[in-house]
Amino acid sequence: MQKTGGQLVMLVAINGLLLVLGAIISGGTFLSLFNLQSMASQLPEIGLLAIGVMLAMCAGNGGIDLSGIALANLSGVLSAVIVSSFLSVSESETVFSLAFIFAAVSIGCAGGVINGLLISKLNITPILCTLGTQMAFMGLAVVVSGGKAVMVGSPALLSSIGNDMFLAVPISFLIFIIAAGLIAAALKFTPYGLWLMLMGTNPKAAVYAGFPRTGVLVATYAISGTLSGLAGVIIAARNVNVKFDYGSSYLLIAILIVVMAGVKPEGGYGRVVCVVLSAVALQLMSSLLNFGGLSNFVRDFAWGLLLLAFLAVGRYDLTGFLFPARGQPIPSVPIPHAPKQDN
């Protein structure tokens, strides 16, 4: 268990370091309220998707959710098309916003349930299933929007989600933190969390122990889908328009965040707080690169490099090497590792 604490300490340290570095490079403007707020409002979309990927990964057995951003775009596009077909923005802005949010989140949830059912009932490998649904979701978004951007407009409630502050904190960021908190609590205090992690550790044993495999898998992908729907709402709120190919690099970034957070790709371990912190770290780095005036392509390059570097950290346990202060009380007791059977 020391290792999990190590990951948290390392992420906090990285965040602190990045803040200091940013302050030094920019001469203080990096830490200005405005910059912090703008960073916080950019974070939620990708953070929500990353939590979804984390849950799918924790389920083990090669679990991963590649359909996140496609589903987020689909829920934005489809919801905008459906809602604006029988409500107009000018009539009642609040009703429109509420209907839009409700429709988007339900579409996200429905998409997630589809993923979960395909994976648990039909036994399709998660990679293949979510690859297929990614394409299908994106395709559906193209079909309903005709390949064009769909105008959502900025009705009062929606635009305040996208742009306003509550106590100087962007509302979208608050939504993200609340969602993350709820999921963290669900993982920690409900049987679902225990089932999920144990199933990820050893799927076969979980079945013999009588865990509701189908229920857990469907719930996992449904939560992931709901988070995508929520991300879709925030994307729509921030951008006024929704389009099927928004955020094409989000898939990699979500996986990068999750790997950086120390979630095990083979399943069974992951902490929401680490995912949140690593999302924050990534946002800080991204803004720093922006401050440095580097192009998007350099950023892609850096993300790829970073992903591989963190995989190496996870593999060779550099955390323990970098933070020996945390000590290992009984180093001689080996932590039993389940043999990795499936890569």
Partner 1 sequence: MSTSRIDELSESASAGRSFSLGELVRRRPETITFMLLVAICVIVAIINPAFLQPSTLIDIGRASVVMGLFALGVFIILAAGGIDVSFTAIAAFTMYSLTVLVLNHFPGMPMAVIMLVAIGGGALLGIINGLLVHHLNVPSLIVTIGTQYLFRGFLLSFIGTVWIMSLPPQMGAFGRMPLFQFESANGAIVTLPVYFLFLPLAAFVTWWILNRTLMGRAIFAVGGNANIASRLGYSLRTVHIFLFGYAGALAGLAGIIHVCANRQANPFDLVGTEINVIAAVVLGGARITGGTGTVLGTILGVLLIVVINSVLVMVGIPSTWQRLVVGSFILLAAAFFVTRQRKK
At closest approach, how far in Å is the CB of 337 from partner 1?
12
Q: Which residue in 284, 273, 248, 268 sits closest to 340, CA to CA?
A: 268
CA atoms within 13 A on the CB side of 324: 1
Residue with Cβ nearer partner 1 (57 or 171)? 57
Whether residue 62 contacts residue 127, with contact meaning beta carbons closer than 8 Å, is answered with yes
Q: How many residues bind partner 1 (CB under 8 A)?
A: 55
Site string for partner 1, 281-300 (x = CB under 8 A): -------------xx-xxxx
338 belongs to the binding site for partner 1 (CB under 8 A):
no
303 belongs to the binding site for partner 1 (CB under 8 A):
yes
Q: Which residue in 39, 42, 4, 104 sits closest to 288, CA to CA?
A: 39
User: What does the alpha-carbon distance between residue 245 and residue 24 come to, in Å, rounded to a whole number?
Assistant: 36
Q: Which residue in 281, 198, 307 sits closest to 9, CA to CA?
A: 281
Whether residue 232 contacts residue 72, with contact meaning beta carbons closer than 8 Å, is answered with yes
Out of 251, 274, 276, 284, the residue judged to bind partner 1 by CB under 8 A? 251
Residue numbers 133-152 binding partner 1 by CB under 8 A: 133-140, 142-143, 146-147
Site string for partner 1, 84-123 (x = CB under 8 A): ----------------------------------x---xx
User: What does the alpha-carbon distance between residue 153 and residue 68 come to, in Å, rounded to a whole number?
Assistant: 24
Whether residue 335 contacts residue 320, with contact meaning beta carbons closer than 8 Å, is answered with no
Q: Give the angle 7-11-16 at the CA atoms, nearest 5°.
A: 150
Residue with Cβ nearer partner 1 (62 or 320)? 62
Residue with Cβ nearer partner 1 (25 or 305)? 305
Residue with Cβ nearer partner 1 (166 or 301)? 301
Residues within the interface to partner 1 (CB under 8 A): 62, 64, 118, 122-125, 127-129, 131-140, 142-143, 146-147, 248-249, 251-252, 255-256, 259, 265-266, 294-295, 297-305, 307-308, 311-312, 314-315, 339-343
